[in-house]
Chains A and B, each alone.
Chain A
Amino acid sequence: MSVVAVEDLTMRYRGHTALDGVSLALEPDTIHGMLGRNGAGKTTLMRILTGQEFETSGRVEVFGQPPRENPAVLNRVCFIRESQKYPTNFKVREALAAAAIACRNWDRAYADRLVKDFELPRDRPIKKLSRGQLSAVGIVIGLAARAPLTLFDEPYLGLDAVARQIFYDRLLEDFSERPRTIVLSTHLIDEVADLVEHVVLIDHGEVLMDQDADELRGRAVSVSGPAEAVAAYADGVPVLHRSELGGRARVALAERPGRPAEGVSVDSLSLQELIVLTTNQGDPK
Chain B
Amino acid sequence: MDEGRPLFQQIAEQIESSILDGTLAADTQVPSTNELAAFHRINPATAAKGVSQLVTDGILYKKRGIGMFVASDARRRVLDRRRDAFARDFVEPLLAEARRLGLSAADVRDLIEKWGEGR
A interface residue numbers (CB < 8 A to B): 30-31, 168-169, 172-173, 175-177, 179, 193-197, 213-215, 217-218, 262-263, 267-271
Contact = CB atoms under 8 A, between A and B. Distances in A.
Contacts of B43: 31, 172, 194-197, 213
A213 B43 CA distance: 10
Given A31-B43, A214-B49, A268 B4 contact: yes
B44 to A, nearest CB: 5
SS class, residues of chain B in contact with chain A: helix
A218 to B, nearest CB: 4
A169 B7 contact: no
Contacts of A196: 43
Contacts of A269: 3-4
Given A168-B41, A172-B37, A172-B38, A197 B6 contact: no
Contact of A194 (B4, B34, B40): B40
Contacts of A173: 38
Contacts of B37: 172, 176
B45 interface: yes
Interface of B: 1, 3-8, 33-34, 37-38, 40-46, 49, 96, 100
A176 B37 CA distance: 8
Contacts of A271: 3
A214 B96 CA distance: 30
Contacts, number: 62
Contacts of B1: 194
Q: Kindly list the 3 A-B residue pairs having the minimum CB-CB distance in the complex, ordered from nearest.
A: A268-B4, A176-B34, A194-B42
A195 B34 CA distance: 13
A213 B38 CA distance: 18
Contact of B4 (A175, A262, A267): A267
Contacts of A215: 6
A218 B4 contact: yes
A186 to B, nearest CB: 14
- For B42, B45, B46, B100, which residue has the most chain A Cβ atoms within 10 angstroms? B45
A214 B6 CA distance: 5
A218 B5 contact: yes
Nearest to B3: A270
A213 B49 CA distance: 13
18 contacts: A30-B45, A169-B38, A172-B38, A172-B43, A176-B34, A176-B38, A194-B7, A194-B42, A195-B41, A197-B45, A214-B6, A214-B46, A215-B6, A217-B6, A218-B6, A263-B100, A268-B4, A270-B4
Contacts of B7: 194, 214, 217
Contacts of A218: 4-6
- For B3, B8, B34, B46, which residue has the most chain A Cβ atoms within 10 angstroms? B3
B105 to A, nearest CB: 17
B4 A214 contact: no
Contacts of A177: 34
A172 B96 CA distance: 43
B50 to A, nearest CB: 9
Nearest to A190: B3
Nearest to A179: B44
B45 A217 contact: no
A217 B38 contact: no
Contacts of A268: 3-5
A209 to B, nearest CB: 17
Contacts of B41: 168-169, 172, 194-195
A195 B42 contact: yes
Nearest to A221: B4
B42 to A, nearest CB: 4
Contacts of A217: 3-7
